[in-house]
DNA sequence: CATGAATGAGTGTTCATTCAT
DNA sequence: GATGAATGAACACTCATTCAT
């Protein structure tokens, strides 16, 4: 296993633990142990617990951005893109709840952590945000969506998905979150019109 | 100043500090000091730091619930209610950013904290959630909104507002958040239709 | 026991332990334990292990300075003052070897530690150095000593005493260091002439 | 480069780093890196960081002893030998401050380090001490110096030089330390008389 | 009611040393 | 010979909580 793969393993385990117990309640020792690594060796991969948190954010948003990028490349209507993205997101949420939870738990909660030493957290999530922008603009160009302030449109997509994610985290939703897919994507599309 | 008032003072200061520095980076000593109270005395009001966090959530959602309750009582269309709620929320966000930030920072991030000893965080926010439900149902009854799964409708309202709140926290929005009001409420209304 | 007295107790114990085991090999926990105090409480007295080291230097040099000050005030020849100072120093060395050892071990060895945040170690020992200067100048004025570069004269006094202290630390001297007193003070006086 | 030469290279670099940052603040990894050697390989030369410290002490005192040995061999008065030794020492101090600093910083400060496993530090510096003894005894024989307890005479020479070295380390002396040479050697000679 | 001294378990991080390659 | 990945004990420092006064 090469260094990069080990790094992923650490991130994946961290994502899982951070999302379950929170950033501050997860210790470096626990993370290291969870993948059978010594504390000292952990620090050969990440110079600090904080830097692991940052790398994890980038990792998650990169994954989401990749999914969305594939959809953006397709030659289909923007409405369908939204629909596919919702499906893809819910699927991701079902399979990797810890990644999404991590975003909520660690990123939203500890913004001060990410905004020190220059790079704002916004920066870390840039890849994903850029793809959202592409999606919105293509819809506006094709007249499917109405031109609005970017931040409003951004909120319509990520906010509605964020809402359902929050509820999922609360454990009140039906186990099969896919049943919400159609209503959700319809609502998002309407919101953008 | 009676006991209840003191309690509010603690909550208000905690809200401010938690939202700025996060829950784990704010110490009980700091909170106590900020209102000129001794650490020991603090524990006469709240049995633990955790319980203060819970009381603070209830405090914030109660405030939001009250605002929404007033709007729900009015004899106007649901669409107008949404519009008024958005205005009211943005106003609240502008005047009490720490309260909203608190919700994001502490509640979302530390759900494990709230879900121990029985009461889920959802429980704590019940008053607010109930009012949202009333708002949605009245709209469905008046045929202004389309009947959807409650959780989807809930996500449309709180998610979109949550999205703009997130962006506000990132510091990317125009200082006067009210300029987003109309587009936001229009989007929400459409999403609910 | 008031706060100041507790501080002294910490310093005295630290002086003892630092001088026996060195600064880096003595832990805060050990110091705290040695005086029956918890680690946490230690930090109510000194904000850091480093600051304790600094306070200890000041403590020791202040003691030495006080001794020398008393001698400087006497209406006797400078030669006699040197003699008295040597006696007083050897007595101090015999009764408080840890204080002198501390100076050697921690101060000389970790100058980088003391020179950060502005105050050079030299500054910390100022009281003592000033008294040495007074002693030298009074001897020059009374023509008992020859005028030399201050630093050379300073080295003659403190160096020779330092030398014997070093040897004492090596454990090669006779237990009763006072037997060296006369030869030492004669040598110092001659060196200054 | 043969093994012995590598060893010297390690010692020289260690001397430099230890003297600048102290023994405990210099890591084996840093020393190894500074001479382009791997950590593991370092341990093929020295079985421990401690043993490097010891070898370094021997290295430095051997150098000083060699200088002094040459002077002791000369057919000149003891007074002149002292004078030459002071010049030689100050020159050494100017050119190799790290070596002298090392003695102060590491040896004096961490005597406990050197005195474990039998050999006292005094032992390590034996070659140098022996030469000092020869110098003193030759002066006593030629009646230039007065017979005193060896340790007192030893303190007069090494103490006064130690004093000026301390001040040099404090950065208070004139850059050209040679200007103190005459006064220093005169003082030492007088102290020995 | 009110104080703040006191506790001590717990945290992130470091680093001498080992050893498989 | 030479590497550097890997270990894990150890450390300075923090902070929620308690309790004597």
pLDDT tens string B181-190: 999 999 999 9
Residues present in chain B in total: 193
Binned at pLDDT 50, 70 and 90, residue A112 comes out as low
Token pair of B154 as six digits: 């809930």
pLDDT at B120: 60
Backbone CA torsion sign across A93, A99, A101, A103: negative
Please name the nucleotide lying closest to A37, CA to C1': F6
Cα–Cα dist D135/B150, whole Å? 99
Chain C CB contacts of D112 below 8 Å:
20-22, 25
Question: Mean per-residue pLDDT for A161-166?
Answer: 92
Mean pLDDT is highest, among B164-168, C43-47, C169-173, for: C43-47
D161 Cβ under 8 Å from any chain C Cβ:
yes
Angle at C23 between CA C20 and CA C26, to 5 degrees: 70
**Which of the residues A126, A144, A159, A172 would you substitute to probe the B interface, choosing the one with the greatest number of B C-beta atoms within 10 Å?**
A159
Q: Are D21 and D28 in contact (CB under 8 A)?
A: no
Task: Give residue D181's pLDDT band: very low, low, confident or very high (50, 70, 90).
Answer: very high
Asked if C184's CB is within 8 angstroms of D155's CB, the reply is yes
What distance in Å separates residue D28's CA from the closest CA in chain C?
16
Residue C46's pLDDT band, with cuts at 50, 70 and 90, is: very high
User: Between chains, do A163 and B166 touch, taking CB under 8 Å as contact?
Assistant: no
Average pLDDT over residues B131-146: 94
pLDDT at C75 over 80: yes
- CB contacts, 8 Å: B122 with chain A: 170, 172
Residues of C in contact with D133 (CB under 8 A): none
| Interatomic separation, CA of residue D40 and C1' of nucleotide E17, rounded (Å) | 9
Distance from the D193 Cα atom to the nearest Cα atom in chain C, whole angstroms: 8
Q: Is A177 exposed, middle or buried (0-12, 13-18, 19+ CB in 10 A)?
A: buried
The partner residue sitting opposite D151, judged by closest CB among C122, C155, C164, is C164
With beta carbons less than 8 A apart as the criterion, state whether C68 and C81 touch.
no
Instruction: Give pTM, 2 decimals.
Output: 0.88
Residues near strand F (C-beta below 7 A) are A 6, 36-41, 43-44; B 24-29, 39-40, 43, 47-50; C 24-29, 39-40, 43, 47-50; D 3, 6, 37-41, 43-44
pLDDT > 90 fraction of chain C, expressed in percent and rounded: 66
From chain C residues 78-107, the ones with a CB under 8 A of any chain D CB are 104-106
**Contact between D193 and C190 using a beta-carbon 8 Å cutoff:** yes
Q: Do residues C112 and C30 lie in contact, with contact meaning Cβ atoms separated by under 8 Å?
A: no
**With bands split at pLDDT 50, 70 and 90, how would you rate the model's confidence at C118?**
low
Pair C99, C15: CB distance under 8 Å: yes
pLDDT given at position B117:
55
Question: What count of Cα atoms within 13 Å lies in the side-chain half-sphere of residue C6?
Answer: 13
Is residue A108 over pLDDT 80?
no
Q: Report the pLDDT averaged over residues C74-102.
A: 93
B133-172 burial string, b = 16+ CB within 10 Å, else e? ebbbeebbeeebbeebebbbbbbbbbbbbbbbbbbbbeee
Grade residue A120 by pLDDT with cuts at 50, 70 and 90.
low
Chain centre distance of CA B75: 24
| Stronger pLDDT, A188 or C118, i.e. the higher one | A188
pLDDT at C109 over 80: no
Residue ranges in B96-192 assigned as alpha helix (H): 97-102, 111-115, 121-124, 126-141, 150-154, 160-170, 181-192
More confident residue, C89 or D103: C89
- A60-64, C145-149, D77-81, D143-147: least confidently modelled range: A60-64
pLDDT number for residue C123: 73
Find the mean pLDDT for residues A87-96. Answer: 92
Question: For residue C127, is pLDDT > 60?
Answer: yes
Q: Least CA distance to B169: which residue of chain A?
A: A111
Q: Which residue is the nearest neighbor of F14, CA to C1'?
A: C40
Percent of chain D scored above 70 by pLDDT? 95
- Arithmetic mean of pLDDT, C137-157: 95
The separation, in Å, between residue D14 CA and nucleotide E4 C1' comes to: 48
Going from the N-terminus, what domains does chain C have, and what CATH number goes with each? 49-192 (1.10.357.10)
pLDDT level of residue D103 (50, 70, 90 thresholds): confident
Model confidence at C61: pLDDT above 90: no
Mean pLDDT of the B5-20 span: 92
Buried b (16+ CB within 10 A) or exposed e, A79-88: bebbbbbbbb
C64-93 average pLDDT score: 95
């Amino acid at each position: 296993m090469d260094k990069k793969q080990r790094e992923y393993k650490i991130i994946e385990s961290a994502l899982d633990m951070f999302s379950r117990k929170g950033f501050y309640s997860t210790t470096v020792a626990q993370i290291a142990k969870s993948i059978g690594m010594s504390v000292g060796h952990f620090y050969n991969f990440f110079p600090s617990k904080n830097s692991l948190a940052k790398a994890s954010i980038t990792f998650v948003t990169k994954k989401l951005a990749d999914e969305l990028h594939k959809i953006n490349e397709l030659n289909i209507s923007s409405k369908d893109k939204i629909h596919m993205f919702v499906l893809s997101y819910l699927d991701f949420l079902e399979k990797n709840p810890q990644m999404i939870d991590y975003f909520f738990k660690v990123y939203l909660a500890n913004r001060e952590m990410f905004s020190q030493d220059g790079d704002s957290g916004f920066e870390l999530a840039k890849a994903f945000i850029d793809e959202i922008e592409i999606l919105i603009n293509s819809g506006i160009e094709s007249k499917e969506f109405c031109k609005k302030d970017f931040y409003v449109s951004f909120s319509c997509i990520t906010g509605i998905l964020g809402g359902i994610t929050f509820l999922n985290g609360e454990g009140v939703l039906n186990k099969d979150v896919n049943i919400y897919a159609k209503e959700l994507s319809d609502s998002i599309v309407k919101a953008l019109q």
